């Protein structure tokens, strides 16, 4: 039974007959006159009245929003927890699987399963329908709606002018009230974990009944927003129950273009919140589609501007192009961002053409002419040459000789090299090129740790505060993938004290071993604790560190000691040092280039792990999926020769299969949507001599395949073509 947008559940008898399964106790009781929809009003009356008084005292009505009424977080928490206790206390003591099935019905936006739905028939499973009945009680829904309204009120009050200081910052008291209430709820759920099985699905039901199914935002003070905020709190703090918070009804109801346009146009507002800001409402592939749509809309605007500029010049100043120095207007009127790049020095060629480009030009679709100096291939619409271009960029930047990145041998993850001697403009160029690749939908053959993508989505981190072991543990979670040894050592430090440990952070670069600590200042100032050479011998003369971005000129000073009282902060600052401070100048240069094309708000629709998957794709190739999406020109998919082709390719090791994919498409990684997102065409070609090898056109993702006499000949010729052709990726 679908829920309506006015907040009440649609309950005509004819609708119930369509959606409920017959021959169950619950159904028979309902049609016999059962009053389950209004059951237990007396039991809920007391907490409901208390909750309504709490909402009135909190100035819920729009006419009273400017009235400042202090809320007691302790009293408010007590009322909220009592209301939640009333909501969940008489729910069946069923196992988790039955609640999961009931939740799956609500997640689809229904109150009960459709007639043709798949439902358990075992009598032991009949409890799920009773669970749905209880979750559909009006008194229970009304009580939870009040709880959701209060949570929305807490957020709304935090953003009211009355609860902000003269700088517009949230007051300490308002923030403390919110944190206190959230912590009380989390503690309650920790002590009563079964309540999550009820609260999650019912909050989804509340949201779906108060959302109009067309808006991409919800009012901050609304019941719908409050329900989402409770779900968000549970989603972020109850990882074992995340399936109870997901609801993809919004992703199915809203058009991708509407989501993208509203996200681009929406400014940060205290009055509304965008649905994309809730992680659990949209799966990763929907967020990827939204981002691509935003990029497409920006490209369309840039192309339209170029067309208008060209039309205006032709109409008013037809000869200006000839007089303009070095054809400046020509760049203004081009519909593409066109780069001419040789394979010999790809980074320098890219830098020479990109550093002087206006930002508006960078928003146009990218096209690349790539090859040797005198023979440049043209990148066509399907983007094969752009893939090869970015592959070469990544290879050049990641080389050990470039000195820009360091790669962990065990994990294979790369990160900025501390003390790199490369000029900072090279990191700015790399940030710009990476943004262009993401903007144009090219998957990159790189492997960065999750913290890299966290900084892209969240921005520069602040210096850690003294927030105890909880903050230290949170910092360590971003070290485990790329700094495993350091993470284990710091975890050991949290468990036991190490005597006489200096409060300093190490750095080994350019033949020197440094120990650095920070003085309490804003921004924090690095101070040298000690300097030794590679063999550990003390360097008596203070070196002048003129590494790019480094200005540590002070003589060495003695650091403090790590104690039981400050070791949590030391662990957090150590993680901050490894991931940010030791490479801060490189990070800032990279972000300067990156944000010329993609702003932080556009990326904020991703979680770090999802952004990593979107940028890097997957190294796993599903050859069956590639076969299903392959197109043919001159061959038939069911022909014996093509079936032999796929039987042969399927027998190859995965690494060889990926070489075939790279030979045809130039793609080294599989995009987030799978191999079906790539263009792969097998075209029949007629050759005079069957000694000819297959060729490819990466521009069009096409394999030109002659018809060989036997499977053995096909295997030999195709294998040789792949090995010989990888450096040039076919014919371009």
Tens of pLDDT, residue by residue over 83-142, are 888 888 888 888 888 888 888 888 877 766 665 555 555 555 567 888 888 888 888 899
Which H or E element spans position 475? helix 468-476
The answer to whether position 529 is within a domain reads: yes
CATH of the domain at 613: 3.90.1750.10
Helix %, strand %, coil % of the chain (to 5): 55, 10, 35
- Please check whether residues 296 and 424 belong to one and the same domain: yes
Q: How far apart are CA 488 and CA 494, in angstroms?
A: 10
The answer to whether position 300 is within a domain reads: yes
The answer to whether position 48 is within a domain reads: no
The mean pLDDT of 485-498, rounded to a whole number, is 88
Q: How far is CA 700 from CA 269, 387, 395, 632, 692, in A?
A: 45, 12, 23, 13, 21
Quick check: 487 and 513 in contact, CB under 8 A?
no
Which domain does 226 fall in, by range? Answer: 73-108+128-158+172-282
- Please check whether residues 440 and 535 belong to one and the same domain: no
The mean pLDDT of 187-207, rounded to a whole number, is 90
Q: Give every CB contact of residue 118 below 8 A, 6+ residues apart in sequence.
A: none
Q: How far apart are CA 728 and CA 343, in angstroms?
A: 10
The answer to whether position 652 is within a domain reads: yes
Q: What are the DSSP calls for 56-111, one per residue?
A: HHTT-SGGGTT------HHHHHHHHHHHHHHHHTTS----HHHHHHHHHHHHTTBS
Q: Say whether pLDDT at 667 is over 50.
A: yes
Q: How far apart are CA 77 and CA 82, in angstroms?
A: 8
Among candidate residues 506, 540, 572, the one where a domain is terminated: 572
- Please check whether residues 645 and 526 belong to one and the same domain: no
- Please check whether residues 597 and 628 belong to one and the same domain: no
Dump pLDDT digits (tens) for 625-635. Answer: 999 999 999 99
- Please check whether residues 565 and 669 belong to one and the same domain: no
Overall number of domains in the chain = 4
- Please check whether residues 342 and 264 belong to one and the same domain: no
The answer to whether position 631 is within a domain reads: yes
Predicted pLDDT at 543 = 55
Residue 367 β-bridge partners: 338
- Please check whether residues 270 and 154 belong to one and the same domain: yes
The mean pLDDT of 419-438, rounded to a whole number, is 94
- Please check whether residues 555 and 530 belong to one and the same domain: yes
Among candidate residues 544, 572, 600, the one where a domain is terminated: 572
The answer to whether position 224 is within a domain reads: yes
Among candidate residues 259, 282, 305, the one where a domain is terminated: 282
CATH of the domain at 687: 3.30.2410.10
- Please check whether residues 358 and 264 belong to one and the same domain: no
Catalytic residues: 699
Residue 340 β-bridge partners: 369
The model's pTM? 0.81
- Please check whether residues 92 and 197 belong to one and the same domain: yes
Residue 39 per-residue DSSP state: -
Residue 522 per-residue DSSP state: S
Dump pLDDT digits (tens) for 510-558. Answer: 878 888 888 776 677 777 777 776 666 666 655 556 788 776 656 667 7
- Please check whether residues 202 and 296 belong to one and the same domain: no
Q: Say whether pLDDT at 651 is over 80.
A: yes
Predicted pLDDT at 557 = 72
The answer to whether position 546 is within a domain reads: yes
Residue 10 per-residue DSSP state: P
- Please check whether residues 211 and 290 belong to one and the same domain: no
């Amino acid at each position: 039974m679908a829920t309506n947008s006015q907040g009440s559940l649609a309950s005509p008898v004819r609708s119930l007959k369509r959606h409920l399964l017959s021959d169950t106790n619950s159904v028979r009781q309902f049609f016999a006159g059962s009053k389950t929809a209004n059951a237990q009003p007396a039991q809920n009356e007391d907490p409901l009245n208390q909750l309504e008084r709490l909402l009135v005292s909190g100035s819920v009505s729009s006419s009273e929003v400017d009235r400042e009424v202090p809320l007691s977080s302790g009293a408010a928490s007590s009322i909220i927890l009592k209301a939640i206790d009333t909501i969940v206390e008489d729910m069946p003591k069923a196992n988790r699987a039955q609640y999961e099935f009931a939740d799956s019905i609500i997640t689809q936006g229904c109150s009960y399963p459709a007639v043709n739905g798949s439902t358990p028939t075992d009598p032991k499973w009949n409890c799920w329908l009773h669970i749905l009945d209880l979750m559909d009680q009006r008194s229970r829904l009304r009580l939870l709606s009040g709880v959701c309204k209060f949570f929305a009120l807490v957020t709304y009050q935090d953003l009211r002018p009355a609860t902000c200081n003269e700088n517009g910052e949230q007051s300490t008291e308002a923030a403390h009230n919110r944190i206190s209430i959230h912590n009380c709820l989390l503690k309650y759920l920790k002590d009563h974990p079964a309540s999550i099985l009820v609260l999650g699905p019912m909050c989804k039901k509340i949201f779906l009944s108060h959302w109009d199914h067309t808006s991409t935002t919800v009012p901050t003070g609304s019941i719908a927003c409050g329900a989402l905020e409770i779900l968000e709190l549970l989603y972020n703090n109850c990882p074992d129950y995340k399936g109870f918070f997901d609801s993809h009804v919004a992703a199915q109801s809203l058009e991708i273009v509407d989501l993208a346009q509203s996200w681009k146009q929406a400014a940060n507002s205290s009055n509304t919140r965008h649905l994309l800001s809730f992680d659990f409402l949209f799966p990763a592939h929907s967020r990827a589609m939204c981002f691509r749509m935003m990029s497409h809309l920006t490209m369309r605007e840039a192309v339209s501007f170029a067309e208008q500029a060209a039309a205006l010049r032709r109409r008013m100043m037809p000869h200006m192009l000839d007089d303009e120095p070095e054809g400046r207007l020509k760049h203004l009127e081009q519909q593409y961002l066109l780069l001419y790049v040789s394979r010999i020095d790809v980074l320098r060629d890219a830098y020479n053409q990109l550093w002087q480009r206006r930002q508006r030009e960078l928003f146009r679709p990218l096209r690349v002419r790539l090859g040797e100096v005198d023979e440049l291939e043209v990148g066509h619409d399907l983007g094969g040459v752009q893939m090869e271009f970015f592959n070469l960029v990544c290879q050049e930047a990641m080389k050990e000789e470039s000195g820009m990145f360091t790669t962990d041998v065990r994990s294979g993850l790369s990160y900025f090299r501390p003390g790199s001697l490369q000029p900072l403009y090279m990191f700015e160029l790399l940030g710009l090129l990476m943004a262009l690749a993401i903007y144009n939908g090219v998957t990159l053959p790189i492997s960065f740790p999750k913290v890299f993508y966290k900084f892209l989505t969240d921005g520069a981190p602040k210096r850690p505060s003294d927030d105890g072991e909880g903050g230290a543990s949170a910092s360590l979670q971003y070290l485990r993938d790329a700094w495993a040894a350091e993470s284990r050592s710091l975890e050991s430090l949290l468990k036991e004290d190490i005597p006489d440990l200096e409060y300093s952070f190490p750095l080994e670069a350019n033949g020197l071993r440094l120990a650095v600590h920070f003085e309490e200042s804003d921004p924090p100032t690095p101070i040298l604790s000690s300097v030794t050479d590679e063999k550990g011998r003390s360097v008596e003369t203070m070196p002048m560190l003129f590494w790019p971005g480094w200005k540590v000129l002070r003589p060495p000073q003695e650091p403090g000691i790590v104690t039981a009282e400050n070791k949590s902060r030391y662990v957090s600052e150590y993680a901050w040092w490894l991931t940010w401070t030791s490479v801060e100048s490189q990070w800032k240069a990279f972000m300067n280039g990156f944000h010329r094309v993609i702003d932080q708000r556009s990326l904020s629709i991703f979680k770090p792990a999802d952004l990593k998957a979107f940028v890097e794709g997957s190294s796993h190739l599903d050859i069956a999926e590639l076969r299903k999406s392959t197109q043919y020109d001159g061959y038939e998919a069911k022909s014996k020769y093509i079936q032999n082709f796929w039987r042969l390719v399927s027998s190859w090791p995965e690494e060889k299969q990926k070489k075939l994919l790279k030979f045809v498409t130039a793609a080294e990684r599989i995009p987030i949507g799978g191999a079906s997102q790539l263009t792969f065409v097998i075209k029949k070609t007629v050759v005079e001599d069957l000694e000819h090898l297959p060729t490819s056109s990466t521009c069009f993702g096409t394999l030109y395949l002659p018809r060989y006499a036997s499977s053995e000949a096909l295997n030999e010729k195709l294998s040789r073509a792949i090995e010989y052709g990888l450096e040039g990726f076919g014919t371009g």
